[in-house]
Structure 1
């Protein structure tokens, strides 16, 4: 069932040299894919039916793994200083560094809604006098 391989993560990595081993990447990819399967057990059927591109799933899994690799300790904020110079960094999200899907990830993987817009008339009907 593996949709993503370690090279997909390496290809999307931007920044300092990636130090994770292939085995570590494989484990994190498996965890990320399991998280997706927990939320959408039918995702493989959607991939097979070509209603969800496999490339999109690979992209989301790689993003999840990269977010975790950039902040594995789950640090919320850091601050460094040298003399009068200060540098601070704040990580966003409810669980920084956690291997989880963001709302943007969910939006990319969610099935398309099939429905029609509608409106409700809130103006009361005229009252007929006897």
Structure 2
């Protein structure tokens, strides 16, 4: 890529069309699949999020529901996600992310969540909405 102007860009910065720019937000609603056998996802939990080439800290602000994969019933009383459970969550990141809805762009709409204590990947997620 060759640019006409000198622009200060670095790893993790994004070049996009003016009318096709991702949303810049610290608040993300996503569907996540929990993959940790030892500790469940809980509201208030603090993790690291890896989105495209950026890494940031995140906190789980809310768990809207857990999805029963057999009946597709939404359990809105759920307070945690355990191994292989899927749920819709609200995350707040420490830095703004350049994100799209997963259905629009898989690259900027997907992420993983890493446990800060063990450095293990504990969840994979798809962005549903950025607020």
Fold shared, TM-score > 0.5 on shorter chain: no
**Higher helix content, 1 or 2:** 1
Highest RCO, 1 vs 2 (Cα 8 Å, sep ≥ 6): 2
TM-score (norm 1): 0.26
Computing the radius of gyration from Cα coordinates, the structure with the larger value is: 1
